[in-house]
Amino acid sequence: MTPLLIIGGGLAGTTLAWRLWERGQPFLLVDRDAPVTASKIAAGLVTPITGMRLGLSWRYALFHAEAVAFYCALEARLGRALYHETPVVRLLRSEWQAGIWAKRCDRPEYAPYLQPPHATLVDPEVFAQPFGGFEQRPGGWLDTAAYLNASRAFFESLGCWRTGEVGAIDETPDAVRWNDREFATAIWCTGWQAAQKPELSGVPFQSARGTILTLRADTRGETRVISGACWLVPRGDGSLRAGPTYEVPFTEPHTPSPEALAGLEQKLGDLLRVDVRITDRQTAVRPIVRGREALLGRLPGRAHQACFNGLASKGVLRAPWLAQHLVAHLLDGAVLDPDLDLAGI
């Protein structure tokens, strides 16, 4: 079998690699090993009810079932914890948002995602909650760094992961060539930087810079994810992660603006009533395509090159199902969902 070439080892490329491995399809994954990427720093959150308007996440039941099965199977294979299932508390931020929630919470489609109300939702001495809130399920968070590192070690041991930079690649009528090797198809999983590819010049990328903080605070043993003015993820080792910012447009991918940082710290102060000590800060860019939930498929005019992109803020939830869908297309000729197919742009 001619191998496939995966370019980029973030959530998209790594998950695609697993899906090919499951099928026994040979591949080589090449990643430039940048120290900070969206996948390496992501909080890894998975939640059914999202956004300022408290909407149900697109196709949540489908994506969630596939994601949990995928990460749990990997935990068993790799012998380490990766996905942490936990309820997610949503604290409402304003009267406006409480009004929206009052209209949504009784809708039948929300019922499977709501925990019965608690007498006390969160410790009022730790968290500010002037507008109330609710607890949602099923949700959790993936330790993305652990997932990427463990996957890389596994694939390196098989000789199908390599550190390197892939520039332009030659396409012949039957294959692509890179580094004197032939591949049946090259799949670009290069995150926001895919916008630089001439073949994708028609794609309305609107990627957003985001910053996440690592901190210490005495939240009195709270183990759930708390989402209010910003979200807060207890890591189980005493540290918490908080974020994110959302900056469009931006120039420098790894340096947040002072305004965005001040805004995040302000939100943290609005959420937490206890002292906070910030110990680290990381910034990277989420790949977003305007008007699309994700982008899969062959590059225009390139029979042997494809892309897997546009995971936005839902990479952990969606990558397992999307990677499976792309593999069925590439290996079996299955038709891509038109909502996701690059050909529709």
| In contact, 145 and 38? CB cutoff 8 Å | no
Which 10-39 positions form the footprint of ligand FAD (CB under 6 A)? Answer: 10-13, 30-32, 34, 37-39
Among 140, 287, 297, 320, binds ligand FAD (CB under 6 A): 287
Q: Shortest distance, CB of residue 116 to ligand FAD, whole angstroms?
A: 26
CA separation for the pair 263, 233 (Å, rounded): 18
SS3 63: helix
299 binds ligand FAD (CB under 6 A): no
297 binds ligand FAD (CB under 6 A): no
Q: CB nearer to ligand FAD: give 35 or 108.
A: 35
286 binds ligand FAD (CB under 6 A): yes
Q: CB nearer to ligand FAD: give 286 or 292.
A: 286
CA separation for the pair 333, 327 (Å, rounded): 9
Tracing tokens 């935990």 back to the chain, one arrives at 75
Q: CB nearer to ligand FAD: give 28 or 92.
A: 28
DSSP of 73-127: HHHHHHTS--EEE--EEEE--SHHHHHHHHHHTTSGGGGGGBPPPPSSSS-TTTB
Half-sphere exposure of 336 (CA within 13 A, CB side): 22
Q: Shortest distance, CB of residue 48 to ligand FAD, whole angstroms?
A: 13
Which 186-225 positions form the footprint of ligand FAD (CB under 6 A)? Answer: 189-193, 210-212
CA separation for the pair 303, 166 (Å, rounded): 18
Secondary structure string (H, E, C) spanning 161-207: EEECCCCCCEECCCCEEECCEEECCEEECCHHHHHHCHHHCCCCECC
Q: CB nearer to ligand FAD: give 42 or 126.
A: 42
Q: CB nearer to ligand FAD: give 13 or 48.
A: 13
Closest C-alpha among 234, 238, 51 to residue 136: 51
Q: Shortest distance, CB of residue 314 to ligand FAD, whole angstroms?
A: 5
Which 150-179 positions form the footprint of ligand FAD (CB under 6 A)? Answer: 165-166
| In contact, 187 and 16? CB cutoff 8 Å | yes
| In contact, 326 and 318? CB cutoff 8 Å | no
Size of the site for ligand FAD (CB under 6 A): 42
Which 38-57 positions form the footprint of ligand FAD (CB under 6 A)? Answer: 38-39, 41-45
Q: Shortest distance, CB of residue 39 to ligand FAD, whole angstroms?
A: 3
Among 48, 140, 228, 243, binds ligand FAD (CB under 6 A): 243
Number of Cβ atoms within 10 Å of the Cβ of 41: 23
Residues making contact with ligand FAD (CB under 6 A): 7-13, 30-32, 34, 37-39, 41-45, 165-166, 189-193, 210-212, 243-244, 284, 286-287, 309, 311-317
